Amino acid sequence: MCPPEHFGVLYEINPWMHREVTVDLDRAREQWGDLVATLVEAGAEVELLEPQPGLPDLVFTANAGTVNRGRYVPSRFRHPYRQPEVAFDVAWFDGHGYDVVELPEGVGHEGAGDALPFGHAFLSGYKSRSDAAAHGPLSTLLGAPVRPIELVDDRLYHLDLTFCPLDDRRAMVAPHAWDRYGCKVVEALVPEPLVLSDDEMLAFCANSVVVGSTVVMASCPPPVGRQLEAWGFDVAVVGVDEFQKAGGGCRCLTLALDVATPAGAGPRPSTETAAAR
Amino acid sequence: MTASEVVEVDGHIIDSLILAKVLDVILDAGGDYRILEVDIGRTSVDPSRARLEVTALDEDALAALLAELQIHGANRVDQADAAVEPAEVDGVLPAGFYATTNLPTQVRRGGHWVDVDNPEMDCALVILPDGRVRTAPMHRVRAGDPVVVGRTGVRVQALERPRGATPFEFMNSEVSSEKPKEQLVARVADRIKAAKATGGKVLAVCGPAVVHTGAAPDVAALVRAGIIDVLFAGNGFATHDIESNVLGTSLGVPLGDGLPPEGGHSNHLRVINEVRRRGSIAAAVRDGYIAGGVMYECVQHGVPFVLGGSVRDDGPLPDVFTDVVEAADAMRAQLPGVAVALMLASTLHAIATGNVLPAGVETYCVDINQAVVTKLADRGSHQALGIVTDVGLFLSTLAAHLL
């Protein structure tokens, strides 16, 4: 995670961002501190990236890159505002013993914000920020299948606003944010989905951090909370509305370093789905 | 004219339904695709790869479709410009030169596809100073000519079979002696009329059997009527045509009662000798030595003819090209505008003509011997439609339809 010392809405690169909206930096620091404390209490260890002046979105470490089994693939940002972040991200991973491998020139991908592991595979959002063409090379670099999903709602510009893996069978899913092919892919991949309504999706429910059996969320509408509890999860709500002014929620503020998909070939999705047109 | 490009999409395109989506996007946009290659990963970890030829109504529609496909990760295969090397020596191509087919061909230059002016098989592609691209036979290439090398940046278009009631469809290109001839000839006549109506030329390639079977007067009538515009033949055909008109025999055999007269075997030599005395077939027509026949009509009606020589030739007639390279060049010079080619009982000249014809020319090969027709197709003239029949019968029926 990266402390919000230099956080602010200094430019507009998603529909949530409005430069005329002021960020209350003290409140942001407080919310970020609460998030760290909640994660630690749930059993997480938190590593810190040093904040940098002029890089307000460095705080959203989910976009630093994609991690799998000790390997780190730095992001290639679409917007020039965020491109200078990469050097600092790479320096951190380099300094912490990760195997740093880069995507080829010319294909954009915005890290764990757009690539989430489920089972043996990654789902990867594309169109708003990441390129569909990135999924091939990303798959090679991560050593796991990557299944691209088209994001069709501009407000849900990263996959992590629409999909939240809970365990190896369950995930929160927001099918309205995907095209029909993407919906079929998720349907085939996730045996027990918790389907979010539009309102729940826009309340950043899917942008939650899961630590063990604790789900750390920006807000928890009762239907979502009931289902999560029925499945045995504890819900911890941490307000992060200062960060939502920039279009980011709890998960955007974190990057999971312990991702490790099982090596080897996982099952193919059911033929019925794969053949579905 | 439709426009097409090759795109490639790879990764987990099967499991993520990206391939299905890309194909749907193409069809939804009113385009079409041909799957050139699909390589499906063995396990769910192995990536798959597909190469598609995407066709749209025109260049603009294609550009819009390609932009849409790119969003889903299907990228245009980097089509490099064709590589070009200068010929070092006259008549010698750079090693690795692109060898042509007779199909419509395009060459990529400066990011654009340029049509090759004159498709011809077994040639090289030469870039002209004004940017056009022409086929050139090996011997025509001069030192310094930019010649296309390798296959990159060169593509050929498969010919669409003409649709509608054409003999092509009717015959489905099968060579057989079992087809009803009368209907076939009528359809060939219709195709000739259609070609003439749109300004296309008709080329006749004649073998000596045209004369032996007594069909030369029909060919002469077709020339006289302006239906045959170009004639290719050899020394034999021209000689027998003249012999039959001057002496009434073909290779010494009277075309009338068929009993060979004493010394008839030398008739053709005497005819050749007399034409040689006059300097040319045209001169022999002018001074009245030749007063009828195919060659006579060609001279009288200004129909160009090319007589290609061979080692076996007697004489030969003064108009015969004894240099084969010059003969082929003379044939090439007569090809522009030719829409229909009739190969009439000629094996060697038919194949020679097939070698220089673009695949787009409707070609009918008439021979009593099925092997001749097959041979023509085997030498690359796949567009040739074979009609296995007696050439005399064919020509008299054709003339009856057209005259």
- Which of A49-63, A134-148, B264-278, B374-388 bottoms out in mean pLDDT, i.e. has the lowest? B374-388
For A212, counting Cβ atoms within 10 Å of its Cβ (0-12 exposed, 13-18 middle, 19+ buried), the class is exposed
- B5, B44, B399: which is closest to B224 by C-alpha? B399
- B contacts of A145 (beta carbons < 8 Å): 12, 15, 44-45
Six-digit token pair at A267?
A: 């099952």
Catalytic residue ranges of A: 158, 252
Residue for token pair 């169109």: A127
Q: With an 8 Å Cβ cutoff, are B20 and A276 in contact?
A: yes
Six-digit token pair at A218?
A: 């920006």
Q: Rounded mean pLDDT of chain B?
A: 88
- A contacts of B12 (beta carbons < 8 Å): 121, 135-136, 139, 145-148
Residue B173, pLDDT > 60, answer no
Which positions ≥6 away from A178 have C-beta within 8 Å? A149, A150, A151, A152, A162, A186
Please state, in angstroms and rounded to a whole number, the distance separating the CA atoms of residues B304 and B323.
18
Could you count the other beta carbons within 10 Å of the beta carbon of residue B352? 22
Q: Which domains does chain B have, with CATH numbers?
A: 3-76 (3.30.70.2690), 83-156 (2.40.420.10), 167-402 (3.40.50.10690)
Note the pLDDT of residue A228: 96
Q: Binning pLDDT at 50, 70 and 90, where does residue A164 land?
A: very high
Note the pLDDT of residue A272: 44
- Which of A132-141, B250-259, B295-304, B328-337 bottoms out in mean pLDDT, i.e. has the lowest? B250-259
Please state, in angstroms and rounded to a whole number, the distance separating the CA atoms of residues B192 and B194.
5
B13: closest CA of chain A, how far (Å): 8
Please state, in angstroms and rounded to a whole number, the distance separating the CA atoms of residues B140 and B187.
39
- B contacts of A185 (beta carbons < 8 Å): 15-17
Which positions ≥6 away from A269 have C-beta within 8 Å? A185, A188, A189, B15, B44
Instruction: Identify which of B15, B20, B24 has the shortest CB distance to residue A145.
Output: B15
Which DSSP state fits B305? Answer: E
Transcribe A93-116 into DSSP letters: HHHTT-EE--PPTT--B-GGGTEE
Q: Which amino acid is at A211?
A: V
Q: Binning pLDDT at 50, 70 and 90, where does residue B295 land?
A: very high
Please state, in angstroms and rounded to a whole number, the distance separating the CA atoms of residues B270 and B290.
13
- B contacts of A121 (beta carbons < 8 Å): 12, 15, 44
Note the pLDDT of residue B374: 79
Q: With an 8 Å Cβ cutoff, are B45 and A266 in contact?
A: yes
Residue A120, pLDDT > 70, answer yes
Note the pLDDT of residue B258: 63
Test mutation, A69, A130, A147, A149, chain B, max B CBs within 10 A: A147
Q: Binning pLDDT at 50, 70 and 90, where does residue B172 land?
A: very low
The mean pLDDT value for B67-90 works out to 88
Residue B166, pLDDT > 70, answer no
Higher pLDDT pick, B2 / B367: B367
A87-117 pLDDT tens trace: 999 999 999 999 999 999 888 999 999 999 9
The mean pLDDT value for B376-394 works out to 81
ipTM above 0.90, yes or no: no
Residue A136, pLDDT > 50, answer yes
Which residues between 1 and 60 in chain B have a beta carbon less than 8 angstroms from any beta carbon of chain A? 10-12, 14-18, 20-21, 23-24, 43-47
Q: With an 8 Å Cβ cutoff, are A131 and B24 in contact?
A: no
Count the residues in chain A.
277
B153: closest CA of chain A, how far (Å): 23
- Architecture in CATH for domain A26-261+270-274: 5-stranded Propeller (3.75)
- Is the distance from CB of B256 to CB of B250 less than 8 angstroms? no
